[in-house]
Chain A
Amino acid sequence: MIVYQARDLACVRGGRLVFQDVSFDLVPGAALRVVGPNGSGKSSLLRLIAGLSRPFDGRCGWRREADDDGRDPIALIGHANGQKPALTPLEDLTFWARLADRREAPARARLALEGFGLAPLADTPQRYLSQGQKRRAALARLLVAPSRLWLLDEPTVGLDSGAVGLLEGQVRRHLEGGGMVVASTHLSFDLPDAATLDMADHQPAEAW
């Protein structure tokens, strides 16, 4: 079994201690909801897990027992959507699909777009999409490249209730398939059986 472990993580940004003593385990099928007030380090934690920055203290990473099934370990949906305005959603997703696995990449990209209700806009350059549609296209990236751990940073920003429902369905399917999810989100987003990590509990003691 493969486990993602974080132990006593601390994060410093701009010379300020943002959070400390964050520990959690993620087993296949587990979801973690990260909550907390603005500036409590939700995004910083996700960036740390994604490997974009290094922990100031503590450690995090995979503990695996020799069962690498070839999936990209981590997929990140951050604040920026990670898509090129000049490309159509289909082109952009086909690229990511190919990068993961060449076989039938365009078909997989189309399927992913259908999964988020974007099939009619598959050939519209992304610069002409609305905020919510861009977000949907970014989320569709989760489906073209199988990843073990989904990191969702406020995934519902800009989404209408229909799209939130689609995302909840995809997340549920991912978890049922043995995936893992860490999402920083408010409570209106339904994460089945998610443990909750409240960043407010991990703030450094006030300086005295």
Chain B
Amino acid sequence: MSGFFLLLRREIVLALRGGTDAGVALAFFVIAVTLFPFGLGPEPNLLARIAPGVLWVAALLAALLSLERLFQGDADDGVIEVHLARGTGLEVVAFAKMVAHWLVTGLPLVLVSPVLAAMLGLPSRGYLILLATLLVGTPVLSLVGGIGAALTIGARRGGALLALLVLPLLVPPLIFAVGAIDAVLQGLSARANLLLLGGLLAAALPLAPVAAAAAMRQAVE
């Protein structure tokens, strides 16, 4: 367990110091959402209607953008091999990387989302549920996306392949999250959708690191 926190701290330091990935993802999120008012015209009702979907799709793509190199660096530098030889559990390594990814890219997305929601004119009663779905859902993006990142280690044009692999898997969280927000906007209960979203997170938490670790082993063999 102490190994997990050591790995997590190292990954956060590396993400903040070396990579621009986190900042790029956040900027992409902001710009992508900002494009919609330009493209659709300043029609308040239309923008408010599509705000949950726009925010969620943009968050999904932004997370994906920053996932491409999640494991590639360690594979190139030979760090995975050192872990394997010394006997660090690769599951712990993968989990630390996914958690660090969420803290560095997912959490900032959640934090700026109310500003963007205001820009799209999301009704005020939708804010809390938007934050709730993003808080529960963005970790799923980091976890499931991490599997794809591990599977595409060493692949040329890994980013495109990653999107093809992962986007279909991220349709369920998208549906449940937007469903939850829409339910609240229409005065209904978001409970069922939120529970399903939470269920996805509960399943991804233990399974994704195991899958990613298997893919890492495969990649360095």
Contacts and interface: CB of A to CB of B under 8 A. Distances in A.
A141 B79 CA distance: 12
Contact of A84 (B7, B79, B88): B79
Interface residues of A, number: 31
Interface string B2-25: 110011001001100110000000
Contacts of B76: 80
Interface stretch (A16-24, A67-75, A111-119, A166-174): A67-75
A60 B86 CA distance: 16
A93 to B, nearest CB: 12
Given A84-B18, A86-B18, A52 B79 contact: no
Contact of A52 (B2, B10, B81): B81
Contact of B18 (A74, A79, A85, A141): A85
B18 A80 contact: no
A80 B85 contact: no
B85 A84 contact: no
A80 B84 CA distance: 14
A151 B6 CA distance: 25
B13 A99 contact: no
A171 to B, nearest CB: 17
B41 interface: no
A74 B220 CA distance: 17
Nearest to A53: B221
Q: How large is the interface on B (under 10, 10 to 19, 20 to 34, 35 or more residues)?
A: 20 to 34
Contacts of A84: 14, 18, 73, 77, 79
A145 B6 CA distance: 15
Contact of A145 (B77, B86, B220): B86
B220 to A, nearest CB: 6
Nearest to A145: B86
Contacts of B168: none
Contact of A79 (B2, B13, B78, B79): B78
Interface in A26-78: 47, 50-53, 72-76, 78
A81 interface: yes
B82 interface: yes
A96 B79 CA distance: 11
B39 interface: no
A91 B10 CA distance: 9
A123 to B, nearest CB: 14
12 contacts: A52-B81, A73-B87, A75-B86, A80-B76, A80-B81, A82-B77, A82-B81, A83-B79, A84-B73, A84-B77, A95-B10, A99-B3
Interface of A: 47, 50-53, 72-76, 78-87, 91, 95-96, 98-100, 102, 141, 145, 147, 151
Interface of B: 2-3, 6-7, 10, 13-14, 17-18, 73, 76-79, 81-82, 84-88, 220-221
